[in-house]
Structure 1
Amino acid sequence: MNGCSSKQGEHKSSSGDIDDLEKTEEGRLIGQKAAKEATKKLGKNIQIDYSSTVSEISNIEQIRSNNLQQIVEMKEKEVALKQQEIEHQIIYADVSKMNPLQRKMHEKNLQAIAKKYGWNVGD
């Protein structure tokens, strides 16, 4: 009996056995009401997480759309500046070194530029 009581004492004071008791508590099945409550809470958390994720995705898509719009606007400005540069080169080109065909094409380009900007060019 003495050996038996020492085993019981050791059993009660052993830290490993206390961990086993906690595992038993954790591993135990919960009641039906507690299970329903846990499911409801989990469902609400999932819904909230889903809503916030959708909101974040929507915000990211809006930012991306704005950035793409800015890129398009910058590219349009770049193209317009290049077009103006070309027009300036045409306007200020030295015609003295052009052959007759080049002068004719230059004159047509000048007329197109004048028409684009509403300039009146006298003959």
Structure 2
Amino acid sequence: MKKIMLKSVFILSIALFVSSCAAGLTGSMSDSAALSSNNFTYAEKNVQGLSQATYVLGFGGMKREAIVNEAKQKMLANNPLRSNQAIANLAVDFKISNFLGIVYTVKCYVSADIVEFK
């Protein structure tokens, strides 16, 4: 009886530990340059920036707008815009992971295409 109870508690503990780690993805896409006519070419496709914040019991990290802004600034720092260029097809994606419901990590991925107008 004691052996069965110990096995049950062990299996339940393992199941709880494995199921307490989770991740989710959300995102959105917007067109930030008017591409209605054929007066542009793609200078770069799928340029990306990444930012992340970690929260412990809800404390720490940055607000969502600050995470997005930091990721966008990193993207533009690695791919500076020249004259006659603009960002198009801007996508913002979030990956939210948690561990035991105590530690949350939010990663923000900003990706876009850079177009050059003729």
- For normalisation by structure 2, the TM-score amounts to 0.30
* Structure with bigger gyration radius: 1
Greater per-residue helix proportion: 1
- For normalisation by structure 1, the TM-score amounts to 0.29
Greater per-residue strand proportion: 2
